Structure 1
Amino acid sequence: MDFKAIRIFEEEGKFIPKIVKRNIGDLPEGDVVIKVIYSSLNYKDALSCSGNKGVTRNFPHTPGIDAAGTVYSSENSDFKVGEEVFITGYDLGMNTDGGFGEYIRVPSSWIIKKPKNLSLKEAMIYGTAGFTSALSVYELISMIEPEDGPILVTGASGGVGSHAVKFLVKLGYEVVGVVGNEEKKDFLLSLGARETIIRNEFKDLSNRAMLKQTWAGVIDTVGGDPLSMAIRSLKYGGAATTCGNVAGGEIPHMNVYPFILRGVRLIGIDSVQCPKEKREEVWNILADSWKGDQLEDGIQEVLLEEMLEKVQDMLNSKLIGRVILKHSS
């Protein structure tokens, strides 16, 4: 059977995206074939589309690290034809052809059965971004109570950050978000953030080991200077989670003093190889107590033919909120 997919080709050192026809027989090995109904756009997808070899080693390739749909065929008795399922993480869309194609073939161990209270569209509105955000919030609230003080979210207008704002507000926390520019402030305030800070204003030129104690906790999605600022301004006993590096893989001006003098904690978040038991636990929370009325706020739904334009918007830091892909067939 033929189907449509976005395919990234390497031609004379350049990476060229095309929408092509493929055949299910061309898909990589796996014991379950899924007819993809929804996917979503994540920063890793944008990097893969641009030929980043740190994300995708071999081309041609189909990005899409998220996919939700129905089982088309299965060699595993745990998954029945027509059953609604989804995948986030593992190698999907990185070196295994992903959700920017209308069909995927994957190992059954990667697949999550859709919780009863969650639609396929809602699963992709969350996607890797929402799941990563949920893991971050899940870790933070085990240590920080709402009365302890405000929570700072860096990269707050992006997919992970905007979900974190929604979750924290729903759980009763006071949230302050760092955003890239003025036009993103209203979006964040509409999600319930108490206040926003423009990224260029969130900086410290003193390079002091510790700054004024301001935040009870931090959800960091960008790394680099913002994470350094956030850690150095945590309150005593505070904690920060970190899951991204768009602002840099280093943490400048950092030393041990916030950790040994204020007892702060830094927690790394990995959504790719997260154990399946924890993955299912968090997805069930997302389908139930954390699912709010604002889930679809800030969501853009696009067709396959529109996705590459959104990829460029993401690479150029012009994207606000979250983009999901709806396959037309």
Structure 2
Amino acid sequence: MESAKEAGGAVRAPAVCSAAQSALARAEAELRVQSRRSFLLRDYGEARTLASQALIAAQSCDLHARIVRDQWRARSAAALQDLAAWIERATGIARHVPGGEGVKEGLLRAEVTLGEGRNSFDAAQYERALEAADRGKAQIDATIGSIRGFIDRFEASPRRATWKRWVVDTLRESRRLRRPVILVDKLRRQLLLLQGDDEIASYAVDLGAGGIDSKVRAGDEATPEGRYQVTEVRGPGQTRFYRALMLDYPNSEDRARFRRLRRAGRVEPGSEIGGDIEIHGKGGRGQDWTLGCVALEDDDMDDLVPRIRVGTPVTIVGMIPEGVLP
């Protein structure tokens, strides 16, 4: 019964193991009865029969316990693996929304629960591991729901029509002039290089630490939205960010918008509009960290820059609406 005990027989196969314990108790009781008799009157036949039955019952208990244990182990291992994948997926999705404390706390709780589940799994407490995995999945579901709610509101933004117009006009210009253009989708953290109806390349990007908020003033660390042009191409040694495409932010539309916001009291007194917005290297950090620029990995800048020249249109939008791209 020790082997069955190690496999958690009393919990995982209670009926079978209880019967085995009863059979063992009967065999031990018969053995005690015979041992109290005088030597010549002892008959261990019944004890041997009961012992044999107890052995078979114990083996059955052990087998059932191991089968159930292995089933729990497989289920909990799969559930923990799924939870880890969901946490990774949710963390990636969370990059697309402002860093709300609720989202961060939800991800942290799920990671802590995953750790609890893994500890239980390592201790062969597979039922507890599965319970932790289920609890963690519920936490992730709630977090993803919060993220999805934000994205839905973002997609319904009143600026959506403006973004669509900018993208459509940029693509029309590319077809007319037969030259490449750059589109930056802030929500998806993606830079697209297109010419006419053809996508030439796509790169992942990091944004300003202000996330997907639109730039309002200097120091807000937000990436601006608008239609720009490359004003200068800088190579290694000309920028501290490996390579850089300088943009003409702020343009006339940015300045007009800044004046409107200042008149409306939505910009702090003494604030400036800012500048020095670039598409540069040193990206690929998996988080938004720049002062408002768009950052790519250095290898991606090596691929992008040779295709670009001064005057290349660059359009940055909160998101590219569905159905706009060819």
TM-score (norm 2): 0.22
User: Which of the two has greater helix per residue?
Assistant: 2
Higher Cα Rg, which structure? 2
TM-score (norm 1): 0.22
User: Which of the two has greater strand per residue?
Assistant: 1
